[in-house]
Amino acid sequence: MIKIFKTEQDFIHFHLTNSSTIGFVPTMGNLHDGHLSLITKSKQDNEVTVLSIFVNPTQFSASEDLLNYPRTLEEDIQKASAIFKESDNKTLIIFIPENEKVIYPDNFSDYVTVNGISKVSEGAIRPTHFDGVATVVKRLFKIVQPNKAYFGKKDFQQLVIIEKLVLDYNLGVEIIGMPIIREKTGLAMSSRNSYLSAEQKEAALYLCQTLNEISKIIKESTIEEANKLIAEKVKDKRFNYLEIRDPKNFEIVEQDLSSVVILGNLQIGKTRLLDNLEVNK
Ligand code: AMP
């Protein structure tokens, strides 16, 4: 069964009679196979899946691409619906807020900052981005009341921040981190890839190639050697950052290479591309 909800009231009615487990997949739309993998997993795990499609203004800074962000609502509804067959006996609720006030009512004041983690790496180049992400996710959790919520490791830092948000506010939602879905070339799928020309897509592969190079050094050698390679790589000013961090607390790794994540952001034209690679030694 497929339903479209547009208001908080729709959920208030729904929660009155629903006793099934709810899996939640928050997105900004322009769905690709990365998003669809989260929806598919939620469908496996839960009776009800809520997919939200909302281009959240608070996570964009004034100079970013809020107005131009790709919006493909009809295709999105089709792609998500195609995962749910009548015989599955599972429900998909597509939550498309009818306007911004559904999420941010007049006099809304519950803005959230997850201190520390939000201000490094991606947060260092986008200082208000994760405040907007944490704020919208907290608000969406209040509306949707999910048992589980599914996030892609494509946005690894975001995942760690959401896990911290859930602990800070005791939100009682189980957070599931899902693997990065890539194109055959290795390029991590992203809605922002649609901004790239064929040539730029080719150039973008340098990001995942670099992550793989660093991963090899980590596996075969020392942190000093890995950092030496990073120091060489970041001479290329297209790298907005390139770092090795602890996947749990997001601290910079000093010594212990047993479990790390390499994170990078590469500037291709006007587009900042994000990718990461987890390494276990
Ligand atoms: P977005 O619409 O970009 O806000 O992304 C919505 C969710 O999809 C987030 O949890 C992302 O991490 C996840 N996601 C985006 N791209 C990918 C990908 N290539 N593989 C897996 N998950 C992804």
pLDDT in tens, 255-274: 899 999 999 999 999 999 99
Distance 154 CA to ligand 1 centre (A): 6
17 has pLDDT over 90: yes
CB 129 near ligand 1, within 6 Å: no
Nearest ligand 1 atom to alpha carbon 28: 2
Question: What's the whole-model pTM score?
Answer: 0.97
Q: What is the C-alpha radius of gyration for the chain, rounded to an integer number of angstroms?
A: 19
CB 151 near ligand 1, within 6 Å: yes
Q: What is the CB neighbour count within 10 angstroms for residue 227?
A: 17
pLDDT score recorded for residue 65: 86
The residue whose CB lies within 8 Å of the most ligand 1 atoms, and thus the one to mutate among 27, 31, 96, is 27
Exposure string of 236-265, with b = 16+ CB inside 10 Å and e = fewer, is: eebbbbbbbbbbeebeebeeebeebbbbbb
Nearest ligand 1 atom to alpha carbon 29: 2
Asked if 239 and 251 count as a contact pair (C-beta separation under 8 A), the reply is no
Q: What are residue 256's phi and psi, to 5 degrees?
A: -75, 110
pLDDT in tens, 209-230: 999 999 999 999 999 999 999 9
Q: Widest CA span of the chain, in angstroms? A: 59
Distance, CA of 276 to CA of 266 (rounded, Å) = 11
pLDDT in tens, 79-125: 999 999 989 999 999 999 999 999 999 999 999 999 999 999 999 99
Q: What percent of the chain has pLDDT over 70?
A: 100
pLDDT in tens, 38-80: 999 999 999 999 999 999 999 999 988 899 999 999 999 999 9
- 35 catalytic residue (yes or no): yes
Secondary structure (3-state) at 190: coil
Nearest ligand 1 atom to alpha carbon 190: 16
154 has pLDDT over 90: yes
Rounded mean pLDDT of the chain? 97
CB 253 near ligand 1, within 6 Å: no
